[in-house]
């Protein structure tokens, strides 16, 4: 493990107020989003969609790294240039999702464990040789009446830590993503308690597996009430609950925290990231940035709809979202930006 290289990559991913673009939806997830808009669920359309994203002019002004899926990392533009090359030419660091999805956790109804450790060392080597510089693994923690269980939290934290150690051994920066999901009617306080327990367990396991915290990025959920909770707090309350939870649990050695969007609307995700930075940036030891998928892509996907004629308009919207999120990292986002076109 070359720790200096890992630190350089991790630092570059959170430098210059930029953030990450997650475009690593698995084929079933990407197809599900296409189906809602009547887009053909084919390899051809997935390729065209991802080409539209990565060829957006100006994307690298706000995006430091892009997370790809196994199918995407092997694809090329219509002109025959590999996606990895296109990203590299624009100064965007390529990353790869390496987990094999969440499956039902035996003995724990309603809970899931993320799989993919078998053969991971060999797969990481293949991606490294293709040009990937970092990787991502997502664990899912659901909140319910008696969930999450200790068994689910520990199993997922252990898998995340073993994945992270393998990444660093291979020379890839691990993005460690324990996602406490928003489904349910739980309160903000409940989400805060669960997220705190999850993060404490994840960092215990990262320590046990010898992961160098300086060479990783944490990708957590913001602390939010469940989607069907009747009480939805304001921006400052979310910002404070999120920052307090992270300050209690995430060591200062971690260079960056890149939030997932988790099903928030694009505008709300930007506004909340902005509030977090306005209130906490000067007091945080880590960069507080974004690694959004839906909150960057969805408005552009809604415009693209699988039609070449919509590429330019979709790219404009995609660029607009990335700019809003870069501004949010600086605490300079405002609703006016939503009305100004890119």
Q: Please identify every residue annotated as catalytic.
A: 177, 219
Residue 181 CB neighbours (<10 A)? 17
Q: Is there binding between residue 262 and ligand 13P (CB under 6 A)?
A: yes
Check binding of 21 to ligand 13P (CB under 6 A).
no
Q: 110: Cβ–Cβ under 8 A, 6 or more apart, which residues? A: 142, 144, 147
CA-based nearest residue to 36, from 298, 267, 296: 298
Q: How far is the CB of 296 from ligand 13P (least distance, A)?
A: 8
Site for ligand 13P in 89-128 (CB under 6 A): none
Least Å from the CB of residue 269 to ligand 13P = 7
Q: State the number of binding residues for ligand 13P (CB under 6 A).
A: 10
Nearer to ligand 13P, 89 or 328 (CB): 328
Q: Give the length of the chain.
A: 342
Nearer to ligand 13P, 162 or 294 (CB): 294
**Does residue 260 interact with ligand 13P by CB under 6 A?**
yes
* Using rule CB under 6 A, residue 292 touches ligand 13P: yes
User: Near ligand 13P by CB under 6 A, which window of 46-54, 110-118, 257-265, 334-342?
Assistant: 257-265
Per-position DSSP letters for 84-101, written without gaps between them: HHHHHHTTPEEEEE----
Of 40-48, 188-196, 229-237, 254-262, the segment contacting ligand 13P by CB under 6 A is 254-262
* CA–CA dist 339, 161 (Å, integer): 42
Q: Buried b vs exposed e over 271-280: b needs ≥16 C-beta within 10 Å? A: bbbbbbbbbb
Closest to 203 in 3D by CA, of 192, 214, 211: 211
Q: How far apart are CA 279 and CA 196, in angstroms?
A: 20
Cβ atoms of 149 and 107 closer than 8 Å: no
CB-nearer residue toward ligand 13P: 17 or 177:
177
Q: How far is the CB of 335 from ligand 13P (least distance, A)?
A: 21
Q: Name the minimum Å distance from CB 330 to ligand 13P.
A: 20
DSSP 188: H
The contacts of residue 199 (CB under 8 Å, 6+ apart) are 178, 218, 220, 245, 246, 249, 250
Strands 93-97 and 102-104: unpaired
Backbone region of residue 331 per phi and psi (left: phi > 0; alpha: psi in -120 to 50; beta: other values): left
User: Does 295 interact with ligand 13P (rule: CB under 6 A)?
Assistant: yes
Q: Is 300 in the site for ligand 13P (CB under 6 A)?
A: no
Residue with smaller CB distance to ligand 13P, 6 or 67: 67
Which of 207/291 has CB closer to ligand 13P?
A: 291
Residue 106 φ/ψ region, left for φ over 0, alpha for ψ in the -120 to 50 degree band, beta for the rest: beta
Write down the least CB distance from residue 23 to ligand 13P, Å. 9
Per CB under 6 A, 294 contacts ligand 13P: yes
Beta carbon of residue 297, minimum distance to ligand 13P (angstroms, whole number): 8
Identify which of 271, 202, 207, 265 has the alpha carbon closest to the alpha carbon of residue 242.
271
Contact assessment for residue 160 and residue 141, using Cβ atoms and an 8 Å cutoff: no
Query: Binding ligand 13P by CB under 6 A: which of 33, 50, 138, 323?
Result: 138
- What character string, x for contact with ligand 13P (CB under 6 A) and - otherwise, covers 167-206? ----------x-----------------------------
Q: Does the footprint of ligand 13P cover residue 22 (CB under 6 A)?
A: yes
Distance of CA 14 to the CA centre of its chain: 13
Q: How far is the CB of 227 from ligand 13P (least distance, A)?
A: 13
Q: CB under 6 A: which stretch of 53-61, 77-85, 290-298, 302-310 binds ligand 13P?
A: 290-298
Q: Is 293 in the site for ligand 13P (CB under 6 A)?
A: yes
Q: Which residues bind ligand 13P (CB under 6 A)?
A: 22, 138, 177, 260-262, 292-295
């Amino acid at each position: 493990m070359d720790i200096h290289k890992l630190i350089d990559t991790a630092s570059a991913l959170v430098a210059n107020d930029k953030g990450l673009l997650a475009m690593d939806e698995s084929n079933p997830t990407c197809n599900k989003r296409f189906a809602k808009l009547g887009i053909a669920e084919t390899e051809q359309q997935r390729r065209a969609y991802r080409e539209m994203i990565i060829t957006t002019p100006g994307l690298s002004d706000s995006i430091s790294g892009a997370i790809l899926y196994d199918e995407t990392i092997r694809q090329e533009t219509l002109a025959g240039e590999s996606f990895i090359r296109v990203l590299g030419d624009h100064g965007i660091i390529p990353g790869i999702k390496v987990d094999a999805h969440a499956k039902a956790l035996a003995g724990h109804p309603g809970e899931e464990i993320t799989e993919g450790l078998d053969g991971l060392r060999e797969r990481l080597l293949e991606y490294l040789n293709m040009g990937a510089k970092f990787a991502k693994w997502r664990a899912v923690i659901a909140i319910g009446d008696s969930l999450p269980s200790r068994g689910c939290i520990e199993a997922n934290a252990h898998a995340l830590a073993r994945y992270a150690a393998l990444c660093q051994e291979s020379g890839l920066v691990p993005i460690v993503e324990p996602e406490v999901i928003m489904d349910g009617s739980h309160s903000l306080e409940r989400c805060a308690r669960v997220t705190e327990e999850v993060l404490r367990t994840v960092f215990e396991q990262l320590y046990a597996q010898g992961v160098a915290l300086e060479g990783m990025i944490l990708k957590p959920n913001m602390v939010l009430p469940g989607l069907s909770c009747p009480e939805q707090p304001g921006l400052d309350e979310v910002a404070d609950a999120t920052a307090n939870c992270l300050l209690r649990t995430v060591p200062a050695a971690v260079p960056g925290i890149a939030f997932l969007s988790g099903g928030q609307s694009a505008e709300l995700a930007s506004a909340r990231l902005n509030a977090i930075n306005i209130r906490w940036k000067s007091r945080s030891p880590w960069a507080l940035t974004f690694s959004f998928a839906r909150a960057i892509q969805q408005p552009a996907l809604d415009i693209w709809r699988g039609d070449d004629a919509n590429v330019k308009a979709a790219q404009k919207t995609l660029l607009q979202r990335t700019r809003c999120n870069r501004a949010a990292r600086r605490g300079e986002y405002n609703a006016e930006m939503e009305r100004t076109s890119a």
